[in-house]
Structure 1
Amino acid sequence: MIELTKGTHRVGLLPETGGSIAYWKVNDADILSPVADERLAAFEGQAVAAYPLVPYSGRIAGAGFSFEGQDYALTPNFGGESNAIHGNGWAHAWTVAQQDPDRAILLFDHTPDTEERAREWPFAYRCVMSFVLHEDGLSVEMVVVNRDEKPQPVGFGFHPFFVKGAAATLGFKARGVWENGAGQVPTTHLLLDDDAGLRWSFEKARDLKDVSVDNCFSGWDGEAELAEREAEFSVRIEADPVFQHLVVYTAPDKPFVAVEPVTNMGDAVHHSEVMERGLHVLAPGGRVNGTIRFRIVDRRG
């Protein structure tokens, strides 16, 4: 465990557990909610409050894809499904490259040098994550570098679980939403200003008490806000433009809401017809990066 501190903020990092966050507390109040998901077997039942999604976000249908004329098979890594999900960065230990009282840099290198590792992801890459505490919040920067000798498709994002109280609300702007078909794989795109899409809109902050959502929103403007009606502060998410999509997961019986800034739509490798799918094809040595800022905003004025 690594603990970062600054002012009233404390963040616990778990480099050995997928480069994840164990907790984020402000004045000893939990901002994030540790969640244990037995379907993510590599976590071995350990609860985590946030974790990286690299080298892709969401599911890859059938745990396989074709790229530049080559077929690749992946190992399904989510219990009970035939799909692959969220890459493999979360499933391995990360190296601590730098540690200071209020910041840390974690590093993960993936090399497909065995059949098992190649079926996690068939290309070599490096991901660097920088966590920095500020007086008003936490920033997370992710950099992905193609270490392979051939181009590779890359997407990435971050998966935090926020505490959801009885009066929680969420608001953000997006252009569209992907409805899911079998296996929670995106199938139909709806524009949020059409009649069919209006029911999905969060442009006016929505009460989360009875909301059930597990979908990817497209054309996200990079801002979102989580609040509790009677709380003195809210959490504002501000992400770089590379994060074109926002995944939201919540259900009435869950004490948390996942609000995930991501670059790519789910199953992006199978949707070359979608211009803004958010998948980046990196040449050898190429890189892509982005920063997400989670700010605590005083609502008392």
Structure 2
Amino acid sequence: MGGRLLEFRRKGGPHIAIPTEAHSFESTNWPRAGAYPLVPYHNRLADATIVAGGESVHLRSHPAAVPHTLHGPGHTRPWTVGTHDANRFTMSLGYAADDDWPWDFRAEQHFELSETNLRLTMSVENCSGRPMPAGMGWHPYFASREAVVSDAGYLWPHRSDYLPDATRVAVAEEDGVVRMATAYLEGWTKAKVALPHGFSATMKASSPFGFLVVHRGDPAHICVEPVTHVANAWNLSLPSSQTGAVLLQPGEALKGSIEILISGSSYG
């Protein structure tokens, strides 16, 4: 199922993510539940094209986003289980170049649970012999009908096809941003999601997860996605330092962690 987390809940408390059961499905029409990895990029690449090291590379478009791509091919492939302990779980993907992504790479997810926290460490390594564009993200479907509260400092406005303009604006009224159907945010340190029965989930992330996507595709859930770059980053006419458009040399890796703290009246 593409490296997915299927169920995430507090024992004796509510579901944190919309639960799903293991089943087969068309890889381009996935269940809107659980959480899945976004690798080696998130969201759309305009016209299924990416500019890397002066070279324009054409990819296969996604049927739900034609003529663009969508969310990288990592979640459409089977992952391999590694460590599997009571509070730790690791899985990896060895990706062989194809029409969806013409570079070899290796990706890993390391989940670790404590009584109140989930910590996910993600990485992607360029295993090909040439420079590779690389980014990461994580796409959970939180079981919440409430607006997300974040401290993001910037918003990247986007068009009707979900591609951002090559500009960002300062967040002047946070309440207006969190109630948008889709918001591409930057400069955040935390995002809080209200859960049923007085519980909440507070998300934080390390570098390079400097961007955040908030998307409500259905009233029953909300997606809060830490990501390493703005959508379509490599194709924007801006310096990579502003967009997060990393280019990994052969053997180089991108790595970061995401943490979710669950709190509620019963345990602080």
Q: TM-score, normalised by structure 1?
A: 0.80
CA deviation profile, 1:5-48 (whole Å, cap 9, x unmatched): xxxxxxxxxxxx00001111212521101479xxx940655453
In 2, are the aligned partners of 1:34 and 1:47 still within 8 Å (CA)?
no
What is the aligned counterpart of 1:259 among 224, 232, 242? 224
Q: Could you say what secondary structure the match of 1:276 adopts?
A: helix
What is the aligned counterpart of 1:219 among 165, 187, 193? 187
Report which stretch shifted further, 83-92 or 177-186: 177-186
Distance of aligned partners of 1:293 and 1:227 in 2 relative to their CA distance in 1, 3 Å threshold? same
Instruction: Supply the distance in 2 between the matched residues of 1:298 and 1:19 (Cα, whole angstroms).
Output: 29
* Residue 241 (structure 1) aligned with residue 241 (structure 2): no
In 2, are the aligned partners of 1:81 and 1:183 still within 8 Å (CA)?
no
Q: Could you say what secondary structure the match of 2:161 adopts?
A: helix
1:182 deviates by 4.1
Q: Could you say what secondary structure the match of 1:20 adopts?
A: coil
Which structure shows the bigger proportion of residues in strand conformation?
1
Distance of aligned partners of 1:46 and 1:181 in 2 relative to their CA distance in 1, 3 Å threshold? closer
2:235: which partner in 1? Answer: 270
- For 1:123, give the aligned amino acid: W
What is the aligned counterpart of 1:171 among 126, 149, 173? 149
What are structure 2's unaligned runs of at least 5 residues?
none
1:5: which partner in 2? Answer: none
CA deviation profile, 1:151-193 (whole Å, cap 9, x unmatched): 111110100010114xx24211122111111421101534235
CA deviation profile, 1:76-103 (whole Å, cap 9, x unmatched): 1242521101111100000002211221
Aligned length: 262
In 1, are the aligned partners of 2:52 and 2:247 still within 8 Å (CA)?
no
Instruction: Supply the distance in 1 between the matched residues of 2:177 and 2:73 (Cα, whole angstroms).
Output: 33
1:138: which partner in 2? Answer: 118
* Residue 149 (structure 1) aligned with residue 129 (structure 2): yes
Instruction: Supply the distance in 2 between the matched residues of 1:35 and 1:257 (Cα, whole angstroms).
Output: 15
* Residue 18 (structure 1) aligned with residue 14 (structure 2): no
Instruction: Supply the distance in 2 between the matched residues of 1:28 and 1:299 (Cα, whole angstroms).
Output: 11
In 1, are the aligned partners of 2:28 and 2:63 still within 8 Å (CA)?
no
In 2, are the aligned partners of 1:234 and 1:299 still within 8 Å (CA)?
no
Q: TM-score, normalised by structure 2?
A: 0.89
Identity %: 27
Instruction: Supply the distance in 1 between the matched residues of 2:245 and 2:94 (Cα, whole angstroms).
Output: 20
1:75: which partner in 2? Answer: 60
Instruction: Supply the distance in 2 between the matched residues of 1:67 and 1:207 (Cα, whole angstroms).
Output: 32
Superposition pairs for residues 102-141 of structure 1, below 5 Å?
102-112=87-97, 117=98, 119-141=99-121
- For 1:71, give the aligned amino acid: S
